[in-house]
């Protein structure tokens, strides 16, 4: 059975083996922010999918599963790192076609995934009123499939253990997943966004509501796990972990400092954008900062506008 995508903007899935029993599924870019939708499938006797993306991406993933010898009924867990559309929009769809899979969710995201009406409104505000035409509908997750996550939770599979870590900042309902087999960390958006155009720079990303101070604390928390690999949800696998962690922490702190100073000086949106553009140019000369990063400036402005200090 083939699960056709909703839009030609989602490219056919590109599958890569990136570690022992670990595959990335790159389903192309979303049509709004041009974010690559990269899901991860862990194989073995109890397959797991991490960050399935939108429903359109999830359909592409199902089409590609036979290529790695996995069927929908084989999956034991579906783990979105958080409930944003580009990470979890296809979770309800997958839960219906993966009958034995448990859906692992941060407790703060559970009700929204069981009844997604409110988050669908938010998705329309961010991705446009017609997002379902390109990225597919957001279907409810059956309540009986939900497994509430807790910080430090271990999911023991045959041959590997996944450990859940709460990682707020980008979202209050964000989790990261540490894998014992690859000693890799599935970070969602907790450790920045790497664009193809700026492959060495992890920019912090956070549309409102965003907490840049919690984001910095999460960076330190996840750095303390000393992963060998970081699995980015919009980019792929990276092994230069120490440098990437150091850089995303520095840029996040610098963005916060620059924006606090601008707000204290009474500057508006255009002036703040100009400051961030000039700063970012020092890291990526002659390249524009990615659209999602520029949009995320509003998350800093919103936070520090409410928490002036």
Cα 76 from Cα 30, distance rounded (Å): 27
% of the chain with per-residue pLDDT over 90: 80
Whether 121 is covered by a domain: the verdict is yes
Average confidence (pLDDT) over 259-263: 95
Q: Which residue has the tokens 């963005």?
A: 255
Whether 301 is covered by a domain: the verdict is no
Instruction: With a cut of 80, say whether residue 286 has pLDDT above it.
Output: no
CATH code of the domain containing 114: 3.60.15.10
Is the CB of residue 135 less than 8 Å from the CB of residue 30? yes
Average confidence (pLDDT) over 257-273: 94
Instruction: With a cut of 70, say whether residue 11 has pLDDT above it.
Output: no
* Residue pLDDT, tens place only, 94-153: 999 998 999 999 999 999 999 999 999 999 998 899 999 999 999 999 999 999 999 999
Whether 95 is covered by a domain: the verdict is yes
Instruction: With a cut of 70, say whether residue 162 has pLDDT above it.
Output: yes
Q: In what order do the strands lie in the sheet with 77-79?
A: 14-19, 22-29, 36-42, 48-50, 77-79, 102-105, 146-148
Average confidence (pLDDT) over 178-190: 98
The answer to pTM > 0.85 is: yes
Whether 153 is covered by a domain: the verdict is no
Return the pLDDT at 4.
39
Q: Could you tell me the residue range of the domain that residue 68 belongs to? A: 1-148
C-alpha dihedral sign at 88, 163, 208, 245:
negative
Instruction: With a cut of 60, say whether residue 187 has pLDDT above it.
Output: yes
Q: State the Rg of the chain over Cα.
A: 19
Number of domains, the chain: 1
Whether 52 is covered by a domain: the verdict is yes
For residue 13, what pLDDT band results from cuts at 50, 70 and 90?
Answer: confident
Return the pLDDT at 1.
38
Cα 8 from Cα 122, distance rounded (Å): 24
Beta bridge partners of 155: 162
Whether 39 is covered by a domain: the verdict is yes
What average pLDDT does the structure give for the chain?
Answer: 92
Whether 49 is covered by a domain: the verdict is yes
C-alpha dihedral sign at 141, 147, 151, 154:
negative
* Residue pLDDT, tens place only, 67-92: 999 999 999 999 999 999 999 999 99
Percent helix, percent strand, percent coil in the chain, to nearest 5: 40, 25, 40
Whether 86 is covered by a domain: the verdict is yes
């Amino acid at each position: 059975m083939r699960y056709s995508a909703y839009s030609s903007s989602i490219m056919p899935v590109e599958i890569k083996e990136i570690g022992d029993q670990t595959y990335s599924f790159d389903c192309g870019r979303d049509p709004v922010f041009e974010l690559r939708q990269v899901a991860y499938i862990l194989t073995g006797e109890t397959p797991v999918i991490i960050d399935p993306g939108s429903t359109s991406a999830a359909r592409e993933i199902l089409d590609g599963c036979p290529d790695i010898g996995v069927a929908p009924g084989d999956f034991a867990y579906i783990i979105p790192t958080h409930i944003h559309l580009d990470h979890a929009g296809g979770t309800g769809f997958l839960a219906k076609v993966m009958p034995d899979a448990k859906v692992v969710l941060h407790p703060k995201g559970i009700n929204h995934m069981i009844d997604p009406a409110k988050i669908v409104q938010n998705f329309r505000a961010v991705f446009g009123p017609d997002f379902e035409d390109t990225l597919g509908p957001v279907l409810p997750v059956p309540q009986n499939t939900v497994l509430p996550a807790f910080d430090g939770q271990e999911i023991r599979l045959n041959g590997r253990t996944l450990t859940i870590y709460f990682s707020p900042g980008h979202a209050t309902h964000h989790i990261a997943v540490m894998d014992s087999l690859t000693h890799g960390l599935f970070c969602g958006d907790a450790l920045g966004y790497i664009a193809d155009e700026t492959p060495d720079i992890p920019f912090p990303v956070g549309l409102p509501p965003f907490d840049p101070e919690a984001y910095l604390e999460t960076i330190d928390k996840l750095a303390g796990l000393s992963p060998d690999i970081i699995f980015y949800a919009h980019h792929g696998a990276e092994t230069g972990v120490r440098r990437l962690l150091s850089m995303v922490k520095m840029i996040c702190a610098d963005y916060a400092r620059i924006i606090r100073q601008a707000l204290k000086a009474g500057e508006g949106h255009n002036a703040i954008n100009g400051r961030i553009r000039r700063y970012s140019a020092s890291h990526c000369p002659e390249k524009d900062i990615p659209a999602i990063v520029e949009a995320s400036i509003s998350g800093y402005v919103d936070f520090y506008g409410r928490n002036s200090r």
